[in-house]
Amino acid sequence: MKYRRFLLTCTIIIHAYTAFSQIYPVNAKLEDKKSFSMIVIPDPQSYIKFAANQPLFELQTAWIANNLDTLNIQGVLCTGDLVEQNDIAVPDYVNGDQTSQEQWQAVSNAFCRLDNKIPYILCTGNHDYGYKSSEVRRTYFHEYFPAERNSCWKKTLVAIGNNYKGIPTLENAAYELTTDTWGKLLIISLEFSPRDEAIAWAKKIVNSPQYEKHKVILLTHSFLDYKGERFISEDYYPMRPANYPEAVWQKLVYPSTNIRLVICGHECHITDYDEQVSLRMDNNQNGKSIIQMMFNAQTADGQWHGNGGDCWLRILEFKPDGKTISVRTFSPLFALSPTTSQFAWRNKPFDQFDIVIN
C-alpha cells in the first residue's frame, strides 16, 4: 500500500511538472539523436555592466541548464570578457552602472545555474584584467571561479597552469571529455595574451603522451578579427609580457599534432552580423587542418550600451561520424516569446554551417 501511494505521489509530481514546465514556441533540437553538443557563450561583458541586462545573461545559462538532456550538452565554452571592468569602485553610468564587484558577482550568479550540472569552461579576456582593461594582469577571476566551485570539474579538470603570480588558477586549465563517438577531447583554456610561461604549460600538456592522441580544442579570448585574420598586435601595451594571436599560432597551435579547433571572441564592432563572426582553416606543420572560429555578439542589437547582445549563442553539434560539427546560432531570448520566435535562428551561411575535422 505504501509503495502504491509512493508511485501515485511520483506520478502526480511528474504530471504537475509537465503541466507547468515552460514551453518555448521554438527551441533547438539535435539534427541526429546520436550527436552530442557544446554551447559557445560569447563575451558576456555588456550584459553584466548594466543591472537591467544581467537577467538576460541568466536567461542564457538557465536555457542551457534546461536543455542539457534535449541537446545532450557535454560542455559549455565562454569566450571571456566576463566583466566590463575588473576593478572599479565608482561606475561612470555611461559604460555601465555596476561596480566591478557587482559585475563579478552577477556573472558568478549566472554560472551558478550550471554548477554541479555540467562542466563549463571559461577563458579570461582583456576586460577581466587590470583596472578598466588590461593595464596590468591583476584579476578577481580566481576568487569567483576557484577550481573547487563546480563538482563537474572533479571528473573533467585534468591540469591547471600558474597565473602571473605563480599561483595555479583556472586562467590556464585543461579539461578532458570522454565521448562515445569522438573519443577523448581535451579543451585548453588559455589566458588573454598569454605569457611565454602559459604557452609553455599548454604546449607541454598537448604534447604529453597522455593527451597526444586526443582531439584538442583551444579556447582563448582573442585570436581572429572579423576578416578572419589573426591579430599580430593589440593595443594593450601595459600588459607585459604577452603573446598576441599570431605568436600563439606560431608557438603553440601550428607545431601541435592534435589541436584541431580554436574558438575565440573579443572582436566586435557596430556592424552587421557577418562582421561579428569569422572562420578560417589552416594546416598545421603536419598537414592537418585546424579550424579557427570567432564569435561575438555584444553589439548584436546595434549598440555599445544596449541590451548586451540579444542573447545569441552558438550550438556546436558533434555528429556521430566523429568528424563533423554542425554550427548553429540561436537566441533563447527571441525563442521565448511567440511574438519574436521567428527571429530565434540566424540563418545566413556565416551563422549556420558545418565544419569537418579530418
Compare 228 and 12 and report the one with higher pLDDT. 228
At 3, is the pLDDT very low, low, confident or very high (cuts 50, 70, 90)? very low
At 238, is the pLDDT very low, low, confident or very high (cuts 50, 70, 90)? confident
Q: For 314, how many CA atoms within 13 A lie in the half-sphere containing its CB?
A: 26
At 191, is the pLDDT very low, low, confident or very high (cuts 50, 70, 90)? very high
| pLDDT (mean) for 289-304 | 95
DSSP per-residue string spanning 13-48: HHHHHHHHS---SS----SSTT-EEEEEEP--HHHH
At 7, is the pLDDT very low, low, confident or very high (cuts 50, 70, 90)? very low
Distance CA 138, CA 86 (A): 8
Q: Is the pLDDT of residue 15 over 70?
A: no
Q: Is the pLDDT of residue 22 over 90?
A: no
Q: Is the pLDDT of residue 21 over 70?
A: no
pLDDT for res 142: 98
Distance CA 211, CA 118 (A): 22
At 18, is the pLDDT very low, low, confident or very high (cuts 50, 70, 90)? very low
Compare 358 and 242 and report the one with higher pLDDT. 242
Q: Is the pLDDT of residue 19 over 60?
A: no
H or E stretch including 128?
Answer: none
Distance CA 85, CA 49 (A): 8
Q: Is the pLDDT of residue 9 over 90?
A: no
Choice among 20-34, 93-107, 248-262, 329-343 with the minimum mean pLDDT: 20-34
Instruction: Say if residues 219 and 79 touch (Cβ distance below 8 Å).
Output: yes
Close Cβ partners of 92 (under 8 Å, ≥ 6 residues apart): none
Instruction: Say if residues 82 and 125 touch (Cβ distance below 8 Å).
Output: yes
Residue 241 preceded by cis peptide, ω within 30: yes
322 Cα distance to chain centroid: 21
Q: Is the pLDDT of residue 5 over 50?
A: no
Distance CA 101, CA 85 (A): 9
Q: What percent of the chain has pLDDT over 70?
A: 94
| pLDDT tens digits for range 114-128 | 999 999 999 999 999
| pLDDT (mean) for 68-90 | 97
| pLDDT tens digits for range 211-233 | 999 999 999 999 999 999 999 99
| pLDDT (mean) for 105-120 | 98
Instruction: Say if residues 67 and 30 touch (Cβ distance below 8 Å).
Output: no
The pLDDT mean for the chain works out to 93
pLDDT for res 267: 95
Per-residue cell: 25: 514556441
Query: How far does the chain reach from its first CA to its final CA, in angstroms?
Result: 59
| Three-class SS of 55-114 | HHHHHHHHHHHHCCCCCCEEEEEECCCCCCCCCCCCCCCCCCCCCHHHHHHHHHHHHHCC
